[in-house]
Amino acid sequence: MKVIAWLAGIGTLVAGGFYMIVSLNRWEWNRALFFGIIVLIAEVALATGLVLRRLARLEYRTRVDPEVINVLSETRPPSPDRFAWLRDTTQQTNVFITFLVGGGVILSAGAWMVDRIASKTSSPAGEQKLGSQLSRISYPSGGLLLDDVTVLAQDVPGANDDQIRWLLRRGGRL
């Protein structure tokens, strides 16, 4: 079957090429174009067949003997059971508990260290430094709005502004 296909392809190529040249020689351009297309199709088909045949040969060459594969798979060492310690057993002490307790101790030690370091950040010297920094934005000693007009306004009967009175008290005017 393959031989017939190859012969048909080659025959089409040769015949198409022959008639293409004959048509060109006779000045029959449309016929020449038609046979040229036939030649092109046959050429592409033959080239594809040749490439596929070469690929099939390569595949055949690289095919490994199944007996060798069997020997290799049989002599393969067993894969190690790396999580055997996770399995629950009633007879042995589980390693997982050791990790749990150890992890707890380490976490507790870390938390204690953090607590100690945090407590050292609020020393008396630190508080004094903070106070001096805050003094820059504190109220002035005489108050904010304590001018004479405000003070006299508080003597007027009926005047009762709690916030102004609070400022007067703070400034020592009341």
Q: Is residue 41 a contact point for other proteins (CB under 8 A)?
A: no
Residue numbers 67-126 binding other proteins by CB under 8 A: none
- Total residues binding other proteins (CB under 8 A): 10
Cα 174 from Cα 151, distance rounded (Å): 9
Q: Is residue 57 a contact point for other proteins (CB under 8 A)?
A: no
Cα 109 from Cα 142, distance rounded (Å): 52
Q: Is residue 24 a contact point for other proteins (CB under 8 A)?
A: yes
The amino acid present at 156, given as its one-letter code, is V
Q: Is residue 165 a contact point for other proteins (CB under 8 A)?
A: no
- Min. distance of Cβ 27 from other proteins in angstroms? 3
User: Which C-beta is closer to other proteins: that of 31 or that of 165?
Assistant: 31
DSSP for 36-79? HHHHHHHHHHHHHHHHHHHHHHHHHHTPPPHHHHHHHHHTPPPP
Alpha carbon distances (Å) from 161 to 83, 143, 169: 78, 16, 12
Q: Is residue 29 a contact point for other proteins (CB under 8 A)?
A: yes
Cα 146 from Cα 143, distance rounded (Å): 6
Cα 85 from Cα 92, distance rounded (Å): 10
Q: Is residue 173 a contact point for other proteins (CB under 8 A)?
A: no
User: Which C-beta is closer to other proteins: that of 36 or that of 171?
Assistant: 36
Which residue carries 């392809």 as its tokens? 9
Q: Is residue 43 a contact point for other proteins (CB under 8 A)?
A: no
Among 27, 61, 119, 163, binds other proteins (CB under 8 A): 27
Binding part of the chain for other proteins, among 27-35, 53-61, 120-128, 160-168 by CB under 8 A, reads 27-35
User: Residue 94: left (phi > 0), alpha (psi -120 to 50), or beta?
Assistant: beta
Among 6, 31, 41, 151, binds other proteins (CB under 8 A): 31
Interacting residue ranges for other proteins, rule: CB under 8 A: 21, 24-31, 34
